[in-house]
Amino acid sequence: MEDKKDYSLGNYDVIVIGAGHAGCEAALASARLGKKTACFVINLDTLANMPCNPSIGGTSKGHLVREVDALGGEIGKNADKTFIQSKMLNKSKGPAVHSLRVQSDRRMYHIEMKNTMENQENLDVYQAEIVEILKEGNKVIGVKTKIGATFYSKAIVVATGTYLKGKVIIGDVSYESGPDGVFPANDLSQSFLDIGVELRRFKTGTPARININTMDLSKTEEQKGDEKIVPFSFENEDNEEIKHKKQVSCYLTYTNEKTHKIITDNLDKSPIYSGKITGIGPRYCPSIEDKVVRFSDKPRHQIFIEPLGEKTSEMYIQGMSSSLPEEVQIQMYRSVPGLENSKMMRPAYAIEYDCIDSTNLKLSLEYKGIDGLYFAGQVNGSSGYEEAAAQGIIAGINASRKIDNLPPIILDRSQAYIGVLIDDLVTKGTNEPYRMMTSRAEYRLMLRQDNADIRLTPIGHDIGLISDERYEKFLHKKQLIDDEVKRIKDTIIKPTDFVNEHLESLGSSKIISGVKLSDLLKRSELNYENLAKIDTNRKKLPDAVIEEAEIEIKYEGYIKLQLEQIEEFKKLENKKLTTDIDYEQIKGLSLEARQKLNKQKPLSVGQASRISGVSPADISVLMIFLNQRGM
Measured CA to CA, the distance from residue 207 to residue 84 in angstroms comes to 20
Could you tell me if 348 and 207 are in contact, meaning their C-beta atoms sit under 8 angstroms apart? yes
3-state secondary structure of 42: coil
In the prediction, which pLDDT does 583 show?
A: 94
Contact 14, 154 (CB under 8 A): yes
The region that residue 10 occupies, defined by phi over 0 for left and psi between -120 and 50 for alpha, beta otherwise, is: left
For 147, phi and psi rounded to 5 degrees? Answer: -95, 10
Domain spans of the chain, in order of start: 7-83+96-204+353-463, 209-352, 485-558, 575-628
The CATH class of 575-628 is mainly alpha
Amino acid found at 119: N
User: Which of the residues in the chain have pLDDT under 50?
Assistant: 1-4
Topology, domain 7-83+96-204+353-463: FAD/NAD(P)-binding domain (3.50.50)
Q: How far is the C-alpha of 583 from the C-alpha of 595, rounded, in Å?
A: 8
Which residues are 157's β-sheet partners? Answer: 16, 374
CA dihedral 29, 35, 38, 41 (to 10 degrees): -10
Domain at 485-558, CATH from 3.40.50.720, 3.40.50.80, 1.10.10.1800, 3.30.60.50: 1.10.10.1800
Give the DSSP letter string of 218-268: GGSEEEPPPSS---SSGGGTT-HHHHT-----EEEEE--HHHHHHHHHTGG
What pLDDT, on the 0 to 100 scale, is given for residue 3?
A: 45
Is it true that 7-83+96-204+353-463 and 575-628 share their CATH fold?
A: no
Q: Is 203 left (phi over 0), alpha (psi -120 to 50) or beta?
A: beta
Domain 209-352 sits in CATH 2.102.10.10: no
Q: Which residues contact 136 (CB under 8 A, 6 or more apart)?
A: none
Query: Phi and psi of 141, rounded to 5°?
Result: -130, -5
pLDDT of residue 2: 41
What is the spatial distance between Cα 341 and Cα 138, in angstroms, rounded to a whole number? 59
3-class secondary structure, 571: helix
Distance separating alpha carbons of residues 422 and 68, to the nearest angstrom: 13
Q: Residue 586 and residue 602: Cα distance in Å, rounded?
A: 15
Using CA atoms, how far residue 285 sits from 78, 259, 281, 599, 607, in Å, is 25, 19, 8, 31, 28
How far apart, in Å, are the Cα atoms of 595 and each of 118, 385, 606?
46, 34, 17
What is residue 217's DSSP assignment?
G
pLDDT (tens digit per residue) in 168-214: 999 999 999 999 999 999 999 999 999 999 999 999 889 999 999 99
Nearest Cα to Cα of residue 375 among 43, 20, 9, 11: 20
